Structure 1
Amino acid sequence: MTLRCDVMLETRLDTERIRAARRVIDPVFLGTPLYRCEALEPALGCTVSVKLETANPVRSFKARGTEVVAGLLADNGARAAVCASAGNLGQALAWSGRGRGLDVTVVASRFATVAKLDRIRALDARLELVDGDHELARERAAAIARYEGSRLVEDSLDIETCEGAATIGLELVDAGPSYDAVLIALGGGALATGVGHVLKALAPEVEVICVQPLGAPAMTHSWREQRVVTTESADTIADGVAGRRPIPAVLADLLQVADDAVLVQEASIIAGMRMLLDHAGLVVEPSAALGIAAILEDRDRFAGRHVVTIVCGSNVDVDAYHRWVGATPGPRS
């Protein structure tokens, strides 16, 4: 199913606030590389440009949003914040909170990627682990916020996380879109709704395609049925997008800005990771390979087109990466 938006409809996001967000985000997270990767193109059958959101101290796009959140909290005199995270949001909030004197608590699944958990600790956040998945972590984070009076930071629900991510869209537009489609990893929805909002407002001719693993399809099913659809479980190596309970307000935004939402198989995700290593020299986590996976599964759709894929994160466990891709990444700073 493809949904085209000829007129920009209402979302919770605001383009002027997104422009303002760019002024408060640490420049280290802005202006990430955008370049054509010709080495990928023979195998994919289309022109491919990469938006590299791993080129920053926390190796994911999430800090764009947490910079906005933490800045507002500090300006309002807040002292503490708590979030649930599969790893990347927790690192980003820890980084942004540390720079503004906030006490940050991150709740994560005990089964989360070890490298991500270690990095959260290294950034001076308090880390609490739960014996369950991300949804249980969300419940525990909410309980901590109520008990301790901390600010609960909820990825995708908090508009600042979406509008911070939306600054990526401004950079894509500023580059002068010669591309005709953008492939966006779909999890909670902050990245997709943020970038999608900007593209539909400023470059409506660009197709916004969201990509999610077949093993964690809740938001895609919700977008297709135009109502919240939950799942009992999630089974995917792409832990960063493995939600089971879409947030209604986020789904409402996504329905206005996404042209399509597609599901891809685990084998295609792994193949995408391997291609990004072999042809682009990029070590990425599974979520970051979703765009390449979508092209691999539907080459005819993208044949002859110019596609941008947002490489959204590179926090990956070395041992797991070796099992999936068959190669060990080199030393990382």
Structure 2
Amino acid sequence: MQQTRLDTARIRMARRVIDPMFLDTPLYRCEALEPGLGCAVSIKLETANPVRSFKARGTELVASLLAGNGERAVVCASAGNLGQALAWSGRGRGLDVSVVASRFATAAKLDRIRALGAGLELVDGDHELARERAAAVARSEGIRLVEDSLDIETCEGAATIGLELVDSARQFDAVLIALGGGALATGVGHVLKSLAPEVEVICVQPLGAPALTLSWRARRVVTTDSADTIADGVAGRFPIPAVLDDLLLVADDAVLVREESIITGMRMLFDHAGLVVEPSAALGIAAILEDRDRFADRHVVTVVCGGNVDGDACRRWIGAAPL
């Protein structure tokens, strides 16, 4: 494999830095899902932790590095999950964490950021405007800006999920990974292509927020004027060139799925696996639903990447309140 920005040795070392509560997350075959999907399905569950997403694997590395260098403040833009994770990791290391988010972000995520003690600034726009504002705050205050997917720690933290998949010694044919900024896909993809190249790495993005998928297909950065999806955690419009370069090396395919398939995937995970997930975490199930023939008789792993969902929205989408 050609070289990505990631390094497998550093990824192994990352496990010594990340709080163990975020590591070795459950990986299990969910037979109850299989009749409706037509293939063997295993779940890699990244929601059973204090921030209910995989993001802390990366923020643990970032916060450890900053604290080790004597820095005391950090800022990021977030749709919600990165902000929670950075607030949690920073709080334990004495960092003053500021988060910039869209005021239209999921209320439950914003409330949790505040509860974890981070400063929260809201902007009247989408996540891309929040990124611009966070960069301005970093410049004016002379503090570290954490950029999800661009900062290698966020990718290599996520990549520890790939190590756990490989180290499980279980046989599977493909891994379905939610594609937003790209940290999860490039991290897990790097490990799989390095250590288990026979496994197909398939990235999944909503049809209403297709920028990085379109970029992967075109092999150049493609931006979009808007993002319209319930999967707010992956609703970026401006792919990062360095991330695209990595993705082109590790992804075997990138597919787009409809909103109704995402909602059906959420409902299936609730009904058959007892899981309350945010829309981004159901992208893998949505991909199977839309192309059953492709996955028939194969063993597929889907990374359930986050469980931060608004209660009212959850009831509208799947007819159930969060557990």
Give the TM interval when normalised to the shorter protein.
Answer: over 0.9
Q: Residues of 1 paired with 2:110 and 2:152: CA distance? A: 25
Corresponding residue number in structure 2 for 1:200: 193
Q: Residues of 2 paired with 1:153 and 1:327: CA distance? A: 35
Matches within 5 A, 1:160-179: 160-179=153-172
Matches within 5 A, 1:151-300: 151-300=144-293
Aligned partner letter, 1:267:
E
Q: Mind listing any 5+ residue stretches in structure 1 that lack a counterpart?
A: 1-7
Corresponding residue number in structure 1 for 2:14: 21
Deviation at 1:177, TM superposition (A): 3.5
Q: Residues of 1 paired with 2:222 and 2:214: CA distance? A: 6
Aligned partner letter, 2:215:
S
Corresponding residue number in structure 1 for 2:82: 89
**TM-score (ref. length: structure 1):** 0.97
Matches within 5 A, 1:316-331: 316-330=309-323
2:76 aligned with 1:55, yes or no?
no
Residue of 122, 125, 142 corresponding to 2:135: 142
* Partner-residue secondary structure (3-state), 2:44: strand
Q: Mind listing any 5+ residue stretches in structure 2 that lack a counterpart?
A: none
Corresponding residue number in structure 2 for 1:4: none
Aligned partner letter, 1:48:
V
Identity, in percent, stands at 85
Q: Residues of 2 paired with 1:147 and 1:103: CA distance? A: 16
Q: Residues of 1 paired with 2:143 and 2:113: CA distance? A: 18
**What are the Cα deviations for residues 232-266 of structure 1, in whole angstroms up to 9, with x where unaligned?**
00000000000000000000000000000000000
Aligned partner letter, 1:315:
N
* Partner-residue secondary structure (3-state), 1:116: helix
CA-based RMSD of the aligned residues comes to 0.4
Q: Residues of 2 paired with 1:198 and 1:101: CA distance? A: 32
Residue of 112, 120, 127 corresponding to 2:113: 120
Q: Residues of 2 paired with 1:138 and 1:117: CA distance? A: 16
Aligned partner letter, 2:56:
A
Aligned partner letter, 1:180:
D
Aligned partner letter, 1:305:
R
**What are the Cα deviations for residues 23-46 of structure 1, in whole angstroms up to 9, with x where unaligned?**
100001001000000000000000
**What are the Cα deviations for residues 131-167 of structure 1, in whole angstroms up to 9, with x where unaligned?**
0000000000000000111100000000000000000
Aligned partner letter, 1:291:
G
Matches within 5 A, 1:31-50: 31-50=24-43
Q: Residues of 2 paired with 1:197 and 1:155: CA distance? A: 17
**TM-score (ref. length: structure 2):** 1.00
Q: Residues of 1 paired with 2:297 and 2:242: CA distance? A: 36
Deviation at 1:9, TM superposition (A): 1.0
Corresponding residue number in structure 1 for 2:65: 72
